[in-house]
Amino acid sequence: MTRIPVMPDEWVDRCRVVRFRFEGHAFEGLAGDSIASALWAAGQRTQGRSFKYHRVRGILSAANHDVNVMLQDGPRLNTRGDVVALREGMDLTAVNTFGGLAQDRARVLGLFARFLPVGFYYKAFHSKRLFPKWERLFRRITGLGVLDFDTPHIRTPKCYDFCDVLVIGAGPSGLAAALSAAGAGASVVVVDENARAGGSGLFQLGGDEARRLQTRTLLDKVRTHPRIRLLEATCAAACYADHWLPLIDAERMTKMRAQAVVVAGGAFEQPAVFRNNDLPGVMLGSAMQRLIYRYAVRPANRAVVLTANADGYRVALDLIAAGAVVAAVVDMRAVVPSSAQLDELSRKGVELLAGHAVYEAHAGLDGELAGATLCRIDAAGAVVPGSLRRVDCDGLAMSTGWAPSANLLYQAGTKMRFDDLLQQFVPSRLPEGVFACGRVNGVYQLDARMADGRRAGAAAAAHAGCGTAVDITVDAESESPSLAWPVVAHPDGKNFVDFDEDLQVKDFENAVQEGYDNIELLKRFSTVGMGPSQGKHSNMTALRILARLTGKSPQQVGTTTARPFFHPVPLSHLAGRGFSPQRHSPLHGRHAALGAVFMQAGAWERPEYYAVAGRSRIDCIRAEAGRVRSAVGLIDVGTLGKLEVRGPQAAEFLNRVYAGRYDTMPVGATRYALMCDESGVMVDEGVVARVADDVFYFTTTTSGAATVYRELSRLNVEWKLDCGLVNLTGAYAAMNLAGPASRAVLAQLTDQDLSSQAFPYLGVRTGTVAGIAARLMRVGFVGEWGYEIHVPAEYAPTLWDALMTAGEASGIAPFGVEAQRLLRLEKGHLIVSQDTDGLSNPFEVGMDWAVRLDKPFFTGKRSLQIIRKMPLKRRLVGFHLPENHTGQVPLECHLIIADGDIAGRVTSIAWSPNVGRHIGLAFVLPSMAEPGTQISIRVTDGAMVQAEVCTTPFFDPDDLRQKESS
Amino acid sequence: MKLMTCPINGTRPISEFAYWGEIRPVPDADTCSDAQWADYVFNRNGAPGVKKEWWCHTPSNTWFIAERDTEKDKVLRTWLHGDDK
């Protein structure tokens, strides 16, 4: 528990002392330390409290595979102490304590353990009545960290990258794979989640300097290779389709597209399961080695090594090299294969016990490890009675087995099989372009891992089109790296399988007894593997326990689904700027200067109304509409979709896509256009203008513009008519000059004869307005004499200014979308998608006139022929409220109720100053469509409002305002 | 993210593409029964298998046909309408 002399590849910088606070006390560490290593070096072994029983916890994996040490670092929640680098001035507190780490009041929960059985949450949440109570309690006692709502907003740009071969893991096999792939000519990127590359090759040494040098040599070659980029402290968090992987570093996410992927992620060492295996001081063998070689920290002064593989003997030798006393090496196997390490330990006089296990660990007064009771076990793993014996120790290394870091392989779609000799899942069928090597592939010997890496690297490069795959023989393992049953029973329990969730062996027994005997059910019931470390240290043991309890093989039990992400990814890395386009009309600046309040219309921002100081929104809207009726108004309608179709078969094309008829329409005329889909439902509307014999200019709705253009393009490809389609939506601007004075205003700016004879209603003319080439259409959407003027977008502000100036004497004013909606409602004009829905056909909205069933073909015709034969299910009608109506006013989508049933709904409603009452459109049953029918509308609070069906238009029913006064 | 190959613009991420639907035989509107037409309009075959579909490379508005194995989630080939005849 102190710093040891300089290690050759240590991460710490001895010249730079880092000061920090932990739980209110001042500490010192070194630059390069993790928080946990600095605390351990300072003798602070208790570093966290467990999630459920609030037991003291220390280092377990030192590799981000557990969350024993979870800390709050200012606004940063759930900082993982075992891997996060120490920073000067950090002020850290353990999460999940009541009154601090040392005196956590919730530690009494451990005494009530038997009242918190497995499936407790499952059962507690079952009752709806008690749910809120339990929820409040759980949120208080199991919270992880405190959210700071003032956390600054961090912008995290995304990065995009490409390579031939992406190697995940920079241990011996990954480094060998990278060199082999790069040697074949591939561009290679190697990522490793650790702060420094080298992996186990630089810390699992068994005191053998040659092993370190082998890895060091590979690493030096990788660093200097011109075709290899080595990204340290970067985690490949997922593996998506076509080799698309998010690479997460401290700053950002990089979206990597690789031609081939080599997974060399190694293996997670797995805890042995015995009573009190969670005391601070009990840790994985590899954790001790990381402390020694990365941070130059002696993990313990007097240690017991519990093992069942060759790795444990190297742990013992590494401990001795770090100056610790190894009290005993306890091997759970009955027969231990001979090895140089065994001989060496024997020479050093270390007590070597075969067929033994740790029965339980003991805590001292400080709650940390002070000793262990050893026992003999039989071939089935059962404790031999009378064989217990206590050993004093302050460190206990667990080195009894591994689980492959196969998460990304599973995500990529790899089929895995359980290898009985290795006691591990290994890939049996890899997806195309995905390769595995090293321990994740079941290869453990150092030389064999490097050979396996060379093989996988060459194969990956070949897949990416560089070189050819080579046949490299990889030696089979001579002994199993994992023990089939690393579990020691104890009547008093507290033998933990999942450290995140405080799950003990008996929890699994109870779960299986309750019938949760399938791995997916067991997981959900017991919550094993559902904690922050997602089962990295617990899933394999849980699977072994389930297999034993159900008499199945691990292969039959199978694994749970591995999903992204491999490690938690900060939300700030995922959040980013939206890429949804927002469009501004070329007149946006004019609108803003006029005080426009903008609203979203499809991708566009459009003026909802123009605000006037001291006047309410609705008053502004009514004033704008009133100006159009009394004088003249100007509205920007440039957001409409504007398309042009040219060619000998342009008319035929329009005949096919719209319900109306356009081949018979003369040049200079416009016609309403209604678009249906194949089922006869109205999907869009607009106006078609015949500009020349073979040139049609037509509009679509604002929100439908992109979809309509795309679909018409497709139809043009499919039909191969002799015509071409151009999208002029952005290229053209359009404004509607409407009102009794509109003709007088326009006349000042154009030579075009504006008389009704020369330019009748629904005509289109090409001319100049204010010197700008323009297309002019006589329209009547708002029910006034009016002109829609289309000009190239860049001239829009000039035209706007010219019209506003010319209209000054007439009292011109701009009007927004809301005023336009009111004006068109007064005329009873529907808006597709406002007054129609995804089921509306033209007949039920009274648009029979727009449908020409006598045409040979148009989209939707066959369906409309069928619909025509059937009785209507509903009708769109006009309605008004009584003139003296007071009280609540219905809103859009309020339901019409008849005899207690839904009989329709309101689609539009507004108070009309010109009609002097509320008017609206509504879908009603056909039986209610007759003018004069009384309808009941249910408003928000459930009250009924009476209304009367009436004819439309509500205002100027004979369209006199659009005609030349006689 | 998956990749798809536009016959004009080459291999691009799938987010640049829009799916339209399977290309299905259209019954003869003049001779088919109302029921046959309704079946064509409303019913789709969701069973996985090799399907021919309309796809659009949206930035360039290029419509083309893709043959896709929806069971294996693989794009088998793509071509411009008419090029296969």
The verdict on a CB contact (< 8 Å) between A862 and B29 is yes
The verdict on a CB contact (< 8 Å) between B81 and A709 is no
Residue A125: the pLDDT is 67
Pick the residue of A243, A714, A715 with the most B CBs within 10 A to test the interface with B by mutation: A714
Contact yes or no for A392/A303 (Cβ under 8 A)? no
Examine the pLDDT at A874 and tell me if it is beyond 80.
yes
The verdict on a CB contact (< 8 Å) between A862 and B18 is no
Contact yes or no for A341/A329 (Cβ under 8 A)? no
DSSP state of A69: S
Contact yes or no for A715/B77 (Cβ under 8 A)? no
Please name the amino acid found at residue A318. D
Write the CB contacts of A153 (distance below 8 Å, at least 6 apart in sequence).
Answer: none
Chain A residues contacting B via beta carbons under 8 Å: 240-242, 244, 255, 678-679, 709-710, 713-714, 717-718, 720, 857, 861-863, 866
| CA A263 from centre of chain | 24
- Number of other CB atoms surrounding residue A692 within 10 Å: 12
Residue A143: the pLDDT is 60
Whole-angstrom Cα distance, residue A44 to residue A37?
Answer: 9
Q: For residue B59, what is the nearest residue in chain A, using CA coordinates?
A: A710
Q: For residue A259, what is the nearest residue in chain B, using CA coordinates?
A: B3
Which chain A residues contact residue B74 at CB under 8 A?
none
| CA A466 from centre of chain | 34
Return the closest-CA partner of residue A502 out of A248, A765, A276, A317.
A276
Whole-angstrom Cα distance, residue A903 to residue A336?
Answer: 83
For residue A856, cis peptide bond before it (omega within 30 degrees of 0): no
Please name the amino acid found at residue A241. A
The verdict on a CB contact (< 8 Å) between A710 and B54 is no
The verdict on a CB contact (< 8 Å) between B37 and A862 is yes
Residue A760: the pLDDT is 95
| CA A274 from centre of chain | 39
| Mean pLDDT value across residues A580-603 | 94
Residue A102: the pLDDT is 85
Chain B residues contacting A via beta carbons under 8 Å: 1-3, 18, 20, 29, 34, 37-38, 41-42, 54, 56, 58, 61, 63, 73, 81-82
pLDDT band at A52 (very low <50, low <70, confident <90, very high): confident
* pTM, two decimal places: 0.87
Examine the pLDDT at A549 and tell me if it is beyond 90.
yes
Kindly state the tokens that stand for A572: 């700030």
Q: Which residues pair with B6 in a beta bridge?
A: B10
Q: How many CA atoms lie within 13 A of A505 on its CB side?
A: 22
Return the closest-CA partner of residue A389 out of A372, A376, A374.
A374
| Range of lowest pLDDT (A141-150, A290-299, A876-885) | A141-150
Examine the pLDDT at B85 and tell me if it is beyond 60.
no
Please name the amino acid found at residue A349. G
Contact yes or no for A926/A877 (Cβ under 8 A)? no
Q: Please name the member of A255, A679, A713 whose beta carbon is closest to the beta carbon of B41.
A: A679
| Mean pLDDT value across residues A54-68 | 94
Residue A129: the pLDDT is 78
Residue A195: the pLDDT is 95
- A to B CB pairs, distance under 8 Å: 40
Which chain A residues contact residue B20 at CB under 8 A?
714
| Mean pLDDT value across residues A569-596 | 90
Write the CB contacts of A226 (distance below 8 Å, at least 6 apart in sequence).
Answer: none
Domains, chain B, ordered by start: 3-26+33-79 (3.30.2270.10)
**CA-based nearest distance B63→chain A, Å:** 6
A139 burial level (CB within 10 Å; 0-12, 13-18, 19+) = exposed
Whole-angstrom Cα distance, residue A246 to residue A244?
Answer: 7
DSSP state of A779: E
Could you give the percent of chain A with pLDDT greater than 90?
86
Residue A576: the pLDDT is 77
Contact yes or no for A537/A497 (Cβ under 8 A)? no
Pick the residue of B8, B63, B80 with the most A CBs within 10 A to test the interface with A by mutation: B63
Contact yes or no for A730/A709 (Cβ under 8 A)? no
Whole-angstrom Cα distance, residue A920 to residue A904?
Answer: 13
Place of tokens 């536009």: B6
Interface pTM, i.e. ipTM: 0.97
The verdict on a CB contact (< 8 Å) between B34 and A857 is no
Which chain A residues contact residue B42 at CB under 8 A?
679
Which chain B residues contact residue A679 at CB under 8 A?
41-42
Contact yes or no for A3/A43 (Cβ under 8 A)? no
Alpha helices, H only, chain B? 34-42
Place of tokens 């829609």: A788
pLDDT band at A157 (very low <50, low <70, confident <90, very high): confident
Contact yes or no for A304/A395 (Cβ under 8 A)? yes
| CA A72 from centre of chain | 25
Q: For residue A244, what is the nearest residue in chain B, using CA coordinates?
A: B1
Please name the amino acid found at residue A327. A
Per-position DSSP letters for A159-205, written without gaps between them:
EEEEEEEEEE--SHHHHHHHHHHHHTT--EEEE-SSSSS-GGGGT--
Contact yes or no for A825/A910 (Cβ under 8 A)? yes
Tens digits of per-residue pLDDT, A364-377?
999 999 999 999 99
pLDDT band at A141 (very low <50, low <70, confident <90, very high): low
Whole-angstrom Cα distance, residue A236 to residue A245?
Answer: 6
A15 burial level (CB within 10 Å; 0-12, 13-18, 19+) = exposed
A756 burial level (CB within 10 Å; 0-12, 13-18, 19+) = middle
Examine the pLDDT at A966 and tell me if it is beyond 60.
no
Residue A921: the pLDDT is 98
Examine the pLDDT at A750 and tell me if it is beyond 60.
yes
Return the closest-CA partner of residue A107 out of A502, A507, A529, A538.
A502
Q: Please name the member of B1, B63, B73 whose beta carbon is closest to the beta carbon of A717.
A: B63
| Mean pLDDT value across residues A526-554 | 94
**CA-based nearest distance A717→chain B, Å:** 7
Kindly state the tokens that stand for A635: 């509205």
Place of tokens 């008690």: A130
DSSP state of A658: S
Q: How far is CA B46 from CA A241, A728, B21, B22, B43, in A?
A: 22, 37, 11, 10, 9
Whole-angstrom Cα distance, residue A41 to residue A140?
Answer: 33
Q: A527-539 b/e with 16+ CB inside 10 Å = b?
A: bbbbbbbbbbbbb
| Range of lowest pLDDT (A34-48, A116-130, A466-480, A540-554) | A116-130
> Residue A160: left (phi > 0), alpha (psi -120 to 50), or beta?
beta
Alpha helices, H only, A486-616? 505-513, 519-526, 539-550, 554-557, 571-574, 588-593
Write the CB contacts of A96 (distance below 8 Å, at least 6 apart in sequence).
Answer: A48, A49, A50, A51, A54, A70, A142, A143, A144
Tens digits of per-residue pLDDT, A67-109?
999 999 988 888 999 999 999 999 999 988 887 888 888 777 7
Q: How many residues in total does chain B contain?
A: 85
Tens digits of per-residue pLDDT, A884-897?
999 999 999 999 99
**Edge-to-edge strands, sheet with A670-676:** A670-676, A682-692, A695-700, A641-646, A724-727
| Range of lowest pLDDT (A176-180, A360-364, A700-704, A960-964) | A960-964
The verdict on a CB contact (< 8 Å) between A714 and B20 is yes
Contact yes or no for A610/A599 (Cβ under 8 A)? no
Q: How many helices and strands (H and E) does chain A possess?
A: 23, 48
Examine the pLDDT at A857 and tell me if it is beyond 60.
yes
Tens digits of per-residue pLDDT, A791-808?
999 999 999 999 999 999
Examine the pLDDT at A207 and tell me if it is beyond 90.
no
Which chain B residues contact residue A718 at CB under 8 A?
63, 81
Write the CB contacts of A718 (distance below 8 Å, at least 6 apart in sequence).
Answer: B63, B81
Tens digits of per-residue pLDDT, A472-518?
989 889 999 999 999 999 999 999 999 999 999 999 999 999 999 99
Contact yes or no for A565/A573 (Cβ under 8 A)? no
Examine the pLDDT at A751 and tell me if it is beyond 90.
yes
Residue A572: the pLDDT is 86
The verdict on a CB contact (< 8 Å) between A866 and B34 is yes
Residue A370: the pLDDT is 97
Residue A595: the pLDDT is 97
Which chain B residues contact residue A240 at CB under 8 A?
1
Residue A280: the pLDDT is 98
Please name the amino acid found at residue A78. N
Pick the residue of B37, B43, B84 with the most A CBs within 10 A to test the interface with A by mutation: B37
SS (H, E, C) A407-447: HHHHHHCCEEEEECCCCEEEEEECCCCEEECHHHHCCCCHH
SS (H, E, C) chain B: CCEEEECCCEEEEHHHEEEEEECCCCCCCCCCCHHHHHHHHHCCCCCCCEEEEEEEECCCCEEEEEEEECCCCEEEEEECCCCCC
Whole-angstrom Cα distance, residue A842 to residue A864?
Answer: 9
Tens digits of per-residue pLDDT, B3-62?
999 999 999 999 999 999 999 999 999 999 999 999 999 999 989 999 999 999 999 999
Examine the pLDDT at A581 and tell me if it is beyond 60.
yes
Residue A124: the pLDDT is 66
Q: For residue A860, what is the nearest residue in chain B, using CA coordinates?
A: B41
Q: How many CA atoms lie within 13 A of A919 on its CB side?
A: 24
Kindly state the tokens that stand for A602: 């499809």
A762 burial level (CB within 10 Å; 0-12, 13-18, 19+) = middle
Q: Please name the member of B3, B38, B61 whose beta carbon is closest to the beta carbon of A713.
A: B61
Could you give the percent of chain A with pLDDT greater than 70?
98
Tens digits of per-residue pLDDT, A807-821?
999 999 999 999 999
The verdict on a CB contact (< 8 Å) between B63 and A714 is yes
